[in-house]
A = this chain, B = another copy of it.
Amino acid sequence: MSVTAITMIGVMSRWEPNARGRLAQAALALYGERGYEKVTVAEIAARAGLTERTFFRHYADKREVLFDGSTRLQQTLTEAVAAAPAGRPPIELVGAAIAALGALFEADERREFARQRQAIVDKNPDLQERELVKLSRLGDALTDALHDHDVPVPAASLAAQVGIAVFRVTFVRWLDDPASRPFPELVRAAFEELAAMTHP
Contacts and interface: CB of A to CB of B under 8 A. Distances in A.
Interface stretch (A95-103, A113-121, A126-134): A126-134
Contacts of A132: 129, 132-133, 136
* Copies of this chain assembled into the complex: 2
Contacts of A130: 129
Interface string A129-163: 11011001000000000000000001100000100
A5 interface: no
A175 to B, nearest CB: 20
Contact of A133 (B129, B154, B161, B197): B129
A165 interface: yes
Q: Dominant SS at the A interface?
A: helix
A161 B154 contact: no
A21 to B, nearest CB: 26
A133 B132 CA distance: 7
A154 B195 CA distance: 12
A195 to B, nearest CB: 12
Nearest to A198: B158
A129 B125 CA distance: 12
A67 B111 CA distance: 37
Contacts of A165: 161
10 contacts: A128-B133, A129-B129, A129-B132, A129-B133, A132-B132, A132-B136, A154-B197, A155-B197, A161-B161, A161-B165
